[in-house]
């Protein structure tokens, strides 16, 4: 099996819904990497979303699935799975059809706010550990080597039909 890069795991019991991961992500993916500039001068976009439902919350970002639906759905090959398991968008190939956005069962792929392209978690290539993990004050995000992650969706819930 190919060498797998580490994944970000949310831990529900530790998440307190503070949304600092969102701020960190948006800041990391901004031009100046400063939260004030990012939020006041640019269009900040976070690739992780904190889902809160009363007593449960967790930070949801791209799972970098072993068999990603978004890669399967992409018609131009812009959505690509790397050798190390990361799922990345090659923006020069992306035509903004957003099939990936529709196909992702987690809602982790979203239209880019600034242009008509898909945008998603890239596991922070410039950092040793992703910004969201570093920013979490309660260790509710763990950056760890993955066990195999193959999500299967029940037939009736299948969000798209292949072909």
Partner 1 sequence: MLYKSVFTYPQFEVERDYEKCIVCGCCVQQCTYDATLFLPYKRKVVNDNLKCVGCKRCEALCPTGAIRINRVQNEFKENAYWTSRTIRDIYKQADQGGAILTGGGNDRQFRVYWDHLLIDACQVTNPSIDPLREPMELRTFLGRKPDEIKVEFNDKGEPELKTEIAPNLVAEVPIIFAPMSYGALNLNMHRAMAAAAVAMGTYWNTGEGGLHRDLYPYGHRTIVQVASGRFGVSAEYLNVAAAVEIKIGQGAKPGIGGHLPGEKVDEEISKTRMIPVGTDALSPAPHHDIYSIEDLRQLIYAIKEATNYEKPVSVKIAAVHNVAAIASGIARAGADIIVLDGFRGGTGASPAIIRDYVGIPVEIAVAVVDQRLRDEGIRNWVSIIAAGGIRNSADVVKAIALGADAVYIGTAALMAVGCTLCQKCYTGRCAWGITTNDPYIANRLNPEIAAERLTNLLRGWAHEIKEMLGLMGINAIESLRGNRLRLRAVGLTKEEMEILGVLPAGAGL
Give the shortest CB-18-to-partner 1 separation in angstroms. 5
Give CA 137 to chain center in angstroms: 20
- Rounded CA-CA distance 94/74 in Å is 9
DSSP state of 151: -
End-to-end CA distance of the chain: 28
Give the shortest CB-147-to-partner 1 separation in angstroms. 20
Instruction: Give yes or no for residue 139 binding partner 1 (CB under 8 A).
Output: yes
Of 8 and 78, nearer to partner 1 (C-beta) is: 8
Among 31, 56, 54, 52, which residue's Cα sits nearest to residue 41? 31
Of 70 and 131, nearer to partner 1 (C-beta) is: 131
Q: Pick from 33, 138, 158, 159: which binds partner 1 (CB under 8 A)?
A: 138
Counting residues that bind partner 1 (by CB under 8 A) gives: 27
Provide the CB-side half-sphere exposure for 161 (13 A, CA): 1
Residues numbered 19-78 forming contacts with partner 1, rule: CB under 8 A: 19-20, 22-24, 35-36, 38-40, 44, 52, 54-57
Q: Pick from 18, 71, 134, 149: which binds partner 1 (CB under 8 A)?
A: 18
The Cα-based distances of 5 to 47, 56, 96, 139 in angstroms read: 18, 28, 27, 20
Residues that bind partner 1 (CB under 8 A): 13-20, 22-24, 35-36, 38-40, 44, 52, 54-57, 135, 137-140
């Amino acid at each position: 099996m190919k060498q797998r890069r580490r994944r970000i795991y949310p831990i529900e019991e530790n998440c307190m819904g503070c949304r600092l991961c969102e701020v960190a992500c948006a800041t990391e993916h901004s031009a100046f990497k400063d939260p004030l500039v990012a939020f006041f001068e640019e269009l900040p976009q976070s690739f992780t979303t904190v889902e809160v439902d009363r007593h449960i919350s967790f930070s949801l970002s791209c799972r970098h699935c072993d068999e990603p639906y978004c890669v399967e759905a992409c018609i131009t090959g812009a959505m690509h799975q790397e050798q190390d398991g990361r799922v990345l968008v090659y923006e020069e190939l992306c035509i903004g059809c957003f099939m990936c956005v529709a196909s992702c069962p987690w809602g982790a792929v979203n239209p880019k706010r600034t242009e008509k392209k898909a945008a998603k978690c890239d596991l922070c290539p410039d950092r040793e550990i992703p910004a969201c993990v570093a920013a979490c004050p309660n260790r509710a995000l763990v950056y760890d080597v993955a066990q195999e992650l193959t999500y299967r969706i029940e037939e009736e819930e299948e969000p798209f039909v292949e072909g």
